[in-house]
C-alpha cells in the first residue's frame, strides 16, 4: 500500500532484468566485432534484448533499454559479418 509522502517501490518481479544484460552485451559485442568473438556477444545480446522486450511488454519497465539491447547487438553482428 502506498503511503502519501513516500516513494513507491516496484516489486522485484516487476523489474526487467534482461534489459541491462542486453545493454552490456550489445556494446561489448560491438567493440569486439572485429574479432570473431563479437558475433557471439552480439547473438547473446540479441537474445537478451528480445527477452527484455517481451518482459517490458508485461511489466512496463525497461522498454528503452530493451530496444537499445536489440539495436546494438544487431550492429555488432553486422560489423562482425563484414569483418
Confirm if 44 and 27 have CB atoms less than 8 A apart: no
* Closest CA relative to residue 71, chosen from 51, 52, 45: 45
Contact present, 34 and 79 (Cβ < 8 Å): yes
* Predicted confidence pLDDT, tens digits, the chain (83 residues): 556 655 555 555 457 778 888 888 888 888 887 776 777 888 888 888 888 888 888 888 788 888 888 888 888 888 888 87
pTM of the model: 0.71
Cβ neighbours of residue 40 closer than 8 Å, sequence gap 6 or more: 29
Amino acid at each position: 500500500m502506498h503511503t502519501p509522502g513516500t516513494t513507491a517501490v516496484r516489486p522485484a518481479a516487476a523489474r526487467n532484468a534482461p534489459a541491462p544484460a542486453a545493454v552490456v552485451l550489445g556494446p561489448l559485442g560491438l567493440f569486439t566485432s572485429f574479432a570473431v568473438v563479437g558475433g557471439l556477444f552480439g547473438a547473446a545480446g540479441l537474445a537478451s534484448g528480445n527477452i527484455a522486450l517481451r518482459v517490458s511488454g508485461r511489466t512496463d519497465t525497461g522498454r528503452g533499454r530493451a530496444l537499445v539491447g536489440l539495436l546494438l547487438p544487431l550492429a555488432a553482428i553486422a560489423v562482425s559479418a563484414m569483418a
